[in-house]
């Protein structure tokens, strides 16, 4: 079945790079997503990657996709305290005409001075 796995915690020093990893199971996922959840708020789409891409860069964010290993990573360069949040990886699964999102458990990123 569909499953998305992430490590639960990551602690980094301000200014360092953060790398959040994710593995997924559905090889037919056409898009893979990273959502960000700040304390007390809902999820917001951070970035996404199309399955025929290996890498996508967006300012401080770099997404790497290894389709063979079904591995997705999110790198945040020059991590700031404002990046402290929970980051969710999500794959897509089409069921009954509906394009569902399957979320991982989320990685809590703590940024310390």
Partner 1 sequence: NAGVTQTPKFQVLKTGQSMTLQCAQDMNHEYMSWYRQDPGMGLRLIHYSVGAGITDQGEVPNGYNVSRSTTEDFPLRLLSAAPSQTSVYFCASSSNRDRVYNEQFFGPGTRLTVL
* 58 Cβ contact list (under 8 Å, min separation 6): 47
What is the C-alpha separation between 94 and 37, in angstroms, rounded? 24
Taking CB under 8 A as the rule, which mask of x and - marks residues 27-66 in contact with partner 1?
A: ---xx-x------xxxxxx--x------------------
Which one of 63, 76, 83, 104 is in contact with partner 1 (CB under 8 A)? 104
* Spatial contact of 24 and 4, defined as CB atoms under 8 Å apart: yes
Q: Which of 52, 59, 69, 96 binds partner 1 (CB under 8 A)?
A: 96
Q: Are 60 and 54 in contact (CB under 8 A)?
A: no
Residue 13 binding partner 1, by CB under 8 A: no
Task: List binders of partner 1 among 72-91 (CB under 8 A).
Answer: 88
CB of 64 to partner 1, least distance (A): 20
9 binds partner 1 (CB under 8 A): no
Exposed / middle / buried, residue 66 (Cβ in 10 Å: 0-12, 13-18, 19+):
exposed
100 lies in the binding site for partner 1 (CB under 8 A) = yes
Q: What is the dihedral of CA 53, 57, 62, 63, to 10 degrees?
A: -20
Residues that bind partner 1 (CB under 8 A): 4, 8, 30-31, 33, 40-45, 48, 88, 92, 94, 96-101, 103-106
């Amino acid at each position: 079945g569909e499953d998305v796995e992430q490590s639960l915690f990551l602690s980094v020093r301000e200014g360092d790079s953060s790398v959040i990893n994710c593995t997924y199971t559905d090889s037919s996922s056409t898009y893979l997503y990273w959502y960000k959840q700040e304390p007390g708020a809902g999820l917001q789409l951070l970035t996404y990657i199309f399955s025929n891409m290996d890498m996508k860069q967006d300012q401080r964010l770099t997404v790497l996709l290894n389709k063979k290993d079904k591995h997705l990573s999110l790198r945040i360069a020059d991590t700031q305290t404002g990046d402290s949040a929970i980051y969710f990886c999500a794959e897509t699964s089409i069921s009954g005409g509906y394009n569902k999102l399957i979320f991982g458990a989320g990685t809590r990123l703590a940024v310390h001075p």
